[in-house]
């Protein structure tokens, strides 16, 4: 059947959509979300159908096409094209199979992820897959297949090295910015650590947001290969790399109900590691009431699964359960965290963050067989070798290697929160600290956030400053001050 | 925050969507499918956000709005409007609750259905609800709440009568068009039977498609009330009435994976009955390898649930399990089925369909306490009273009451399928017969379909005609002939 193209000036990067008038759809026996094949010359694409019921938009014999399709087929407005009805993709059968609580094999999971990445599944269909994995759970084998499928159907970086190391943190603890300290230690020790990180999704800063204060983090595959060749490491944003594009599509739908199906979570983390060729991975699971993993039992269970799946994929994984009950470091927010990182590399800065980063770097060195690894990690840091490596990495990524902690711009509007009584700090709320930093503007306002001066068990005097809120504009500072500031740090 | 309106010339009748540039979305901390409130003067609506990544479509400070929103707020292109971020609806919590296999109470289910009907839930969110009901099943109580919620949040017809009767068939058997025979019998007996029916979804004809051959079936609420007042009955398409608009939205998403979550199925059927004020309902469950319900055990289980839920809703329900192993009647397709119906009402036509319809009418009469009900139903039919009533209904709905079976236009392109040997008809495939009728053009080509001359156990001679395929154009007839015609009727 022939249709006249009507260009719809919208591109959504998602599943391809074609809009038909409901009369034409009835004639073709098509219903919403059925599929059609659109042909132009030798090119063809498959799109899902949406149906228009308004006479004002898509008339009979017209087909509304979003820019994604217009560009792919190089179409013009009012041009005539042929369409035909296309059967549903085979992967839908496998999604139904999982909904019916039957296990999926390697080929079936690969087929689902391949179609997902190629925009052949609609969001509704993908949601059925997520629901099935969430309610019916995934077996270890299924998680392995999913990891392989996500990694296979995405970009890859390949390093010709015996050891390629990586780290991951399950998150939930403000600051805790160990990565930019660990990476230069490890790289200075001669190991390869091509670190890709995310930007913040719900926190006041992601590692990519923090590193971006010091150097550009958006690089092409080729640039990253050069940076790693030059410095043994990199600290870049994973988003430009399409390392796990299936993962992004799944997360977009999961976050609607704050779902985090464990099988998909495991696969999503390990697929990104596999995509950068990792051989040895250290995973940090902070345990605390206000982190993702609430207790040690849950943490141990998750750790076992990480290790098992890693083994099946040929990756050596070690997991540490750490204290996630309170923030680590002082600054919270991109600029404030970058300042802490530089201070520590210059042998200044918060000790708790330094100690945690050195400890983790030591474990990574131990994993690849380096002896006296803890001592060695500390030496590399304290001798200034790590700082020198950091300067190399910053330079290779296009930043200023000589930037000093004091030069990092912190939001100039500020408010000091003071102790209402003398006593001992009994509780610091991860969630409240994060929330105040976000209201103050983090991570979008780079200089916004919190500078926290106390730790758990710190003795404080009445009216001493507990933390300073920084913002880049007055309105956001005022909004942040409206939060229950004294409940973020509790003194007994 | 202020935005400049950009009209997107598309209306989709579904959830309301606003498109933002990804830079603005980042600033507002909005992600795809988050919600915003759009205000103009005293009017405001809530829309889900879609994010545009192309510079060609939605620029910074622009907001792309579909016609649904443009019309609701009476907006103009390039006009400035205010938007603010809107929290997620409470019903999402309840959907999550059901995903986590916790039972939902009456208020929670009502809140989900209310938001669904008011287009406040996106299709992805509704899909999570369907998945949860499908995998975690619904309890009888939940089905009752869902029935009430669907019926409450839709249109309603109210009759001031002690008995309002109805019937339903779970489907899967070609022809089996009992409704237009039962309705005039019941109405002639003095009972009220306001029958709303669907059009075909996957079959060669729905009751509405068949009745439409004889009279218009799209009527407003007011028209229907008049028709029923005049004749005790009606036979209309339910689609114009919004009797269960939640149901339509659920079915649209269920059919993608051919899901039919039992709890939703039960609620969807009974909500429509409750919406037309039914007090007594007869449900026909055909059992057969090629119908929805495969065996008697499954049928009995479903019957019990219908009866229990009906009881809780104050509706008296009787269920019959019938033989669904082969087609009933001769014609398959809108016109051919309408012809059978008129023939039977005129004391001609296929006996199997006549007997089934009379039997069901008798049961309905018995349900409301009429004695000798089977005999009475037969008398009403054979005396011509039912035919007279049918003529009244056709007239009241705006059709020609004097139309004769011979005047109904059947597709003039035809092909006779003949027996390849003498013998006894051993099997008639519901699915194959339906499929051939659909390829020939049914239900869109009203005159297309199949005229079936044999029954199970019929003795046939070599070369005698088993069935004729009718089509309204040659191409579709040729396509239909390509099917495996001899496998539709098997002779031993």
Quick: pLDDT tens for B39-66: 988 888 889 888 887 666 788 889 999 8
For A99-138, write each residue's pLDDT tens digit. 999 999 999 999 999 999 988 898 999 999 999 999 999 9
Cβ contact A33–B252 (<8 Å) = yes
What mean pLDDT do residues B30-43 have? 87
C-alpha span between B4 and B20 (Å, rounded): 11
pLDDT band at B255 (very low <50, low <70, confident <90, very high): confident
Q: Are strands B423-428 and B489-491 parallel, antiparallel or unpaired?
A: antiparallel
* Domain covering A165-239+277-396 in this structure, CATH number: 3.40.1030.10
How does residue B12 score in pLDDT terms, banded at 50, 70 and 90? low
CATH topology of domain B409-491: Aldehyde Oxidoreductase; domain 3 (3.90.1170)
Q: Which residues contact B470 (CB under 8 A, 6 or more apart)?
A: B333, B336, B410, B411, B412, B413, B414, B440, B447, B448, B449, B450, B451
**Could you read off the pLDDT of B182-205 as tens digits, one per residue?**
999 999 999 999 999 988 877 899
Site of tokens 């179609």? A115
Q: Alpha-carbon distance A206 to A443, whole Å?
A: 8
> For residue A357, what pLDDT band results from cuts at 50, 70 and 90?
very high
Least confident of A403-417, B18-32, B160-174: B18-32
Q: What is the pLDDT of residue A419?
A: 95
Q: What are phi and psi of B125, to 5 degrees?
A: -65, -40
Q: Are β-strands B2-8 and B80-86 bridged in parallel, bridged antiparallel, or unpaired?
A: antiparallel
Q: Taking CB atoms and an 8 Å limit, are B123 and A128 in contact across chains?
A: no
Closest chain B CA to residue A96: B257
Q: Which of B6, B19, B32 sits opposite A252 (nearest CB)?
A: B32
Collapsed DSSP state (helix, strand, coil) of residue B80 = strand
State which residue of chain B sits closest to A12, comparing Cα positions: B52
Token readout for B478 is 């040729």
Pick from B56, B124, B255: CB nearest A123: B124
Report residue A16's pLDDT band, with 50, 70 and 90 as the boundaries.
Answer: confident
- The answer on pLDDT for A20 being more than 80 is yes
Q: How far apart are CA B437 and CA B429, in angstroms?
A: 12
Q: In terms of pLDDT, which residue wins out, A371 or A60?
A: A371
State the best of B88, B131, B242, B448 to mutate against chain A, taking most chain A CBs within 10 Å: B131
Considering CB atoms only, which of A9, A53, A122 is closest to B11? A53
CB contact under 8 A, B12 and A52: yes
DSSP state for residue A406 in the 8-state scheme: G
pLDDT at B56: 66
Provide, as residue numbers in chain B, all residues whose Cβ is less than 8 Å from the Cβ of A444. 26-27, 29
Which pLDDT does position A56 carry in this prediction?
66
Tokens representing residue A373 in the block = 């690894």
Q: Which of the four pLDDT bands, split at 50, 70 and 90, describes residue B236?
A: very high
Q: Which residues of A touch B131 (CB under 8 A)?
A: 99, 127-128, 131-132, 135
**Both tokens of residue A43?**
């090119």
Closest Cα to residue A64, out of A44, A50, A43, A83?
A50
pLDDT recorded at residue B115: 93
CA distances from A234 to A192, A224, B490 (A): 9, 7, 71
Q: Is the pLDDT of residue B440 over 90?
A: yes
Tell how strand A233-237 and strand B193-197 pair up. unpaired
Domain A410-491 belongs in CATH node 3.40.50.720? no
Q: What are phi and psi of A167, to 5 degrees?
A: -140, 160
Task: Enter the CATH code of domain B2-86.
Answer: 2.40.40.20
pLDDT at residue number B113: 96
Length of chain B (residues): 492
Residue A59 has pLDDT above 90, yes or no: no
The whole-angstrom distance between A10's CA and the closest CA on chain B is 5
Residue A406, burial from CB neighbour count under 10 angstroms (0-12, 13-18, 19+): exposed
Q: Which of B259, B315, B245 is nearest to B137 (CA)?
A: B259
Q: What pLDDT, on the 0 to 100 scale, is given for residue A282?
A: 98
Q: Are A463 and A422 in contact, with CB atoms under 8 Å apart?
A: no
Band (pLDDT 50/70/90 cuts) for residue A491 is very high
CB contact under 8 A, A135 and B99: yes
- Please indicate whether, in this complex, the C-beta atoms of A52 and B444 are within 8 angstroms of each other: no
Task: Give Cα B265 distance to the centre of its chain.
Answer: 11
Secondary structure class of A108 (helix, strand, coil): helix
CA A460 – CA A469 distance, rounded (Å): 18
Report the pLDDT value the prediction gives residue B25, as an integer from 0 to 100.
83
pLDDT, residue B60, reads 85
Q: Say what the pLDDT of residue B251 is.
A: 85
Could you list the active site residues of B? 260
**Taking the domains of chain A in order of start, what are their residue ranges?**
2-86, 91-136, 165-239+277-396, 410-491
Q: Report the C-alpha gap between B413 and B453 in whole angstroms.
A: 18
Distance from CA of A159 to the nearest CA of B (A): 32
Looking at residue A255, what is its pLDDT?
Answer: 83
What pLDDT is attached to residue A200?
82
By C-alpha distance, which of A356, A300, A369 is closest to A327?
A356
Average model confidence (pLDDT) across chain A = 92
pLDDT at A55 over 70: no
- Do A326 and A174 touch, CB atoms closer than 8 A? no
CA separation for the pair A257, B126 (Å, rounded) = 11
DSSP string of B250-284? HHHHHGGGT---HHHHHHHHHHHHHHTT-SEEEEE
Q: What is the C-alpha separation between B50 and B69, in angstroms, rounded?
A: 14
Q: Which residues of A touch B64 (CB under 8 A)?
A: 9-10
Q: Which residues contact A77 (CB under 8 A, 6 or more apart)?
A: A5, A6, A7
* Cis omega (within 30 of 0) for bond into B38: no
**Are B448 and B470 in contact, with CB atoms under 8 Å apart?**
yes
Domain B165-237+299-396 part of CATH 3.40.640.10: no
Distance from B257 to chain A by nearest Cα, in Å? 6
- The Cα of A350 is separated from the nearest Cα of chain B by a number of Å equal to 30
Strand ranges (DSSP E) for B140-278? 165-169, 193-197, 233-237
- Quick one: pLDDT at residue A54? 66
pTM for the complete prediction? 0.85
CA–CA dist A178, B361 (Å, integer) = 77
Q: What CA–CA distance (Å, rounded) separates A161 from B422?
A: 77
Mean pLDDT rounded to a whole number for chain B: 93
CA of B400: how far to CAs of A169, A371, B391, in Å? Answer: 75, 97, 8
Structure tokens at B59: 């620029």
Q: Please give the DSSP secondary-structure letter assigned to residue B192.
A: B
Predicted pLDDT of residue B54: 66
Alpha carbon distance B266, B288 (integer Å):
20
Spatial distance between the Cα atoms of A128 and A108, rounded to a whole number of angstroms? 15
The mean-pLDDT minimum among A52-56, A166-170, A247-251, B359-363 falls in: A52-56
Cα–Cα–Cα angle for B406, B412, B417, nearest 5°? Answer: 100
**How many other CB atoms sit within 10 Å of the CB of residue A323?**
14
- Rounded Cα–Cα distance for residues A382 and B31 (Å): 42
The mean pLDDT of B167-179, rounded to a whole number, is 94
In order of A18, B22, B60, B187, B190, the CA distances from B385 in angstroms are: 52, 68, 71, 10, 11
Please report the pLDDT score of residue A333 as a whole number: 97
CA atoms of A374 and A384, how far apart (whole Å): 16
Q: What percent of chain B has pLDDT over 70?
A: 99
Distance CA A58, CA A63 (A): 7
**C-alpha span between B33 and B18 (Å, rounded):** 9
Parallel/antiparallel/unpaired status of strands A35-40 and A80-86: antiparallel
Q: A176 in helix, strand or coil? A: coil
Structure tokens at B403: 């139309």
């Amino acid at each position: 059947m022939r249709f006249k193209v009507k260009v719809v000036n919208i591109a959504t990067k998602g599943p391809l959509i074609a809009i038909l008038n409901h009369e034409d759809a009835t004639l073709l026996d098509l219903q919403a979300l059925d599929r059609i094949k659109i042909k132009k010359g030798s090119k063809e694409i498959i799109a899902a159908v949406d149906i228009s019921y308004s006479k004002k938009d898509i008339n009979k014999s017209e087909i509304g096409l979003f820019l994604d399709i217009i560009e792919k087929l190089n179409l013009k407005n009012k041009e005539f094209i042929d369409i035909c009805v296309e059967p549903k993709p085979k992967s839908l059968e496998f999604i139904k199979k999982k909904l019916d609580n039957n296990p999926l094999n390697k080929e079936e999971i690969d087929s689902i992820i391949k179609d997902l990445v190629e925009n052949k599944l609609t969001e509704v269909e993908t949601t059925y897959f997520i629901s099935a994995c969430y309610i019916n759970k995934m077996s270890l084998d299924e998680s392995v297949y999913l990891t392989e499928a996500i990694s296979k159907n995405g970009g890859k970086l390949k390093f010709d090295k015996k050891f390629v190391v990586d780290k991951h943190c399950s998150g939930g603890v403000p600051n805790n910015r160990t990565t930019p300290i660990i990476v230069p230690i490890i790289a200075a020790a001669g190991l390869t650590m091509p670190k890709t990180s995310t930007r913040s999704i719900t926190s006041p800063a992601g590692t990519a947001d923090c590193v971006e204060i010091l150097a550009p983090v958006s690089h092409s595959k080729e640039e990253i290969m050069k940076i790693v060749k030059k410095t043994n490491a990199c600290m870049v944003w994973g988003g430009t790399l399409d390392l796990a594009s299936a993962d992004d599509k799944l997360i977009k739908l999961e976050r609607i109900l704050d779902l985090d199906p464990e099988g998909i979570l495991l696969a999503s983390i390990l697929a990104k590691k596999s995509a950068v060729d990792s051989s040895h991975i250290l995973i940090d699971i902070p345990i605390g009431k206000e982190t993702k993993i609430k207790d040690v039992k849950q943490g141990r269970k998750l750790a076992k699964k990480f290790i098992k799946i890693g083994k099946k994929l040929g990756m050596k994984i070690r997991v540490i359960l750490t204290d996630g009950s309170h923030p680590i470091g002082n600054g919270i927010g991109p600029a404030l965290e970058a300042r802490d990182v530089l201070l520590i590399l210059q042998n200044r800065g918060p000790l708790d963050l330094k100690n945690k980063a050195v400890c983790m770097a030591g474990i990574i060195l131990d994993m690849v067989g380096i002896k006296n690894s803890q001592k060695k990690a500390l030496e590399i840091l304290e001798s200034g070798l790590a700082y020198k490596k950091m300067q190399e990495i910053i330079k290779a990524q296009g930043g200023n290697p000589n930037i000093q902690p004091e030069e990092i711009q912190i939001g100039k509007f500020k408010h000091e929160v003071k102790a209402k009584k003398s006593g001992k700090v009994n509780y610091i709320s991860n969630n409240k600290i994060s929330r105040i930093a976000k209201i103050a503007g983090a991570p979008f306002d780079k200089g916004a956030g919190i500078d926290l001066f106390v730790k758990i068990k710190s003795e404080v005097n009445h009216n001493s400053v507990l933390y300073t809120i920084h913002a880049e504009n007055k309105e956001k500072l005022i909004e942040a001050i409206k939060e229950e500031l004294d409940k973020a740090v509790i003194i007994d």
